[in-house]
A = this chain, B = another copy of it.
Amino acid sequence: MGKSEIRTATARGARTPKKASAPARPVPRPARVKAEAPYHHGALREALLQAAERVLERDGLAGLTLRAVAREAGVSHAAPTHHFGDLTGLLSELAAVGFRQFNAAMASSSNAATTPLEHALARPKAYVAYAQAHPGMYGIMFRTERLDYSRPSLHEAAEASFAGLANAVGMMRQEQIRGDALTLQQGAAIARAWSMVHGFTMLLLDGRLEDILGRLPEGTTPERLLEAMLMSPVTGKPPGP
């Protein structure tokens, strides 16, 4: 790989000079999938985000660089700068995409639940399931230090995630949760639910629960362990005799 920076798209020099075919369509970049790339991409921002997601799933967090994303999208390495400012910007927008996917998964799983027990377990299970299905995305959302929450898209998506969680905990406690004030018990319940499922997910993704899982009865899955975690008291023995 001597020269690097290979353009995946076609050569740049010989290009249609004046729009030969396609007699004037209003849409900036219609259904063109395999023609030669024009100088102006037309929807580079979305294309870059999708390319970033592909790179992330394929090469992991370490492989997710600005230049790799540009390569994947078939544009010059400096093209992302114009749309995202810098790497933090790209990561932040990608994290926002992740939060939206995440929120959608949580909502649909919650809607599918019927019994109270299912309702109680649906969201935590969906939480872990999303992280296992998209470990790279989850890493972007919760492992990276380089996120800019002042970006509206990220702020809103993360906020919605938190609101959904708080709401679910409130429903489970059968009380209304006001947006602006919480009792210590309410706050503790929310923080406990979030901490538990988030901590479990991170430890699971990092392989740090293998020690426990390996010592459990044969064939115990992480899901089963999570269920058991959620359905027993926190500290000490049950107060019975």
**A184 contacts B231, C-beta separation under 8 Å:** no
Instruction: Kindly list chain B residues whose C-beta atoms are within 8 Å of the C-beta of A200.
Output: 191, 195, 199
Chain A residues within 8 Å of chain B by Cβ, number: 57
Q: How far is the CB of A50 from chain B (nearest CB, A)?
A: 23
**A203 contacts B212, C-beta separation under 8 Å:** no
**A232 contacts B194, C-beta separation under 8 Å:** no
Q: Mark A195-238, 1 if CB is under 8 A from B, else 0.
A: 11111101100101101110111001000110011111111110
Residue of B nearest to A205 (CB): B145
Give the interface segment out of A24-32, A35-43, A91-99, A174-182: A174-182
**A229 contacts B191, C-beta separation under 8 Å:** yes
- A4 is an interface residue with CB less than 8 A from chain B: no
Instruction: Kindly list chain B residues whose C-beta atoms are within 8 Å of the C-beta of A197.
Output: 195, 199
- A61 is an interface residue with CB less than 8 A from chain B: yes
User: Knowing A196-B195, A232-B189 touch, does A216 contact B142 (C-beta < 8 A)?
Assistant: no
- A20 is an interface residue with CB less than 8 A from chain B: no
User: Knowing A202-B199, A212-B190 touch, does A228 contact B185 (C-beta < 8 A)?
Assistant: yes
- A83 is an interface residue with CB less than 8 A from chain B: no
Instruction: Kindly list chain B residues whose C-beta atoms are within 8 Å of the C-beta of A78.
Output: none
Residue of B nearest to A124 (CB): B235
- A173 is an interface residue with CB less than 8 A from chain B: yes
Residue of B nearest to A227 (CB): B188
Q: How far is B200's CA from A60's CA once the two chains are assembled, in angstroms?
A: 25
Q: How far is B95's CA from A45's CA once the two chains are assembled, in angstroms?
A: 38
A-B contact pairs, 6 of them (CB 8 A): A173-B236, A182-B215, A184-B217, A184-B225, A198-B202, A230-B234
With A184-B216, A195-B195 given, can you name 9 additional A-B contacts, CB distance below 8 Å?
A120-B235, A184-B217, A187-B213, A188-B229, A191-B209, A194-B203, A230-B235, A231-B235, A233-B234
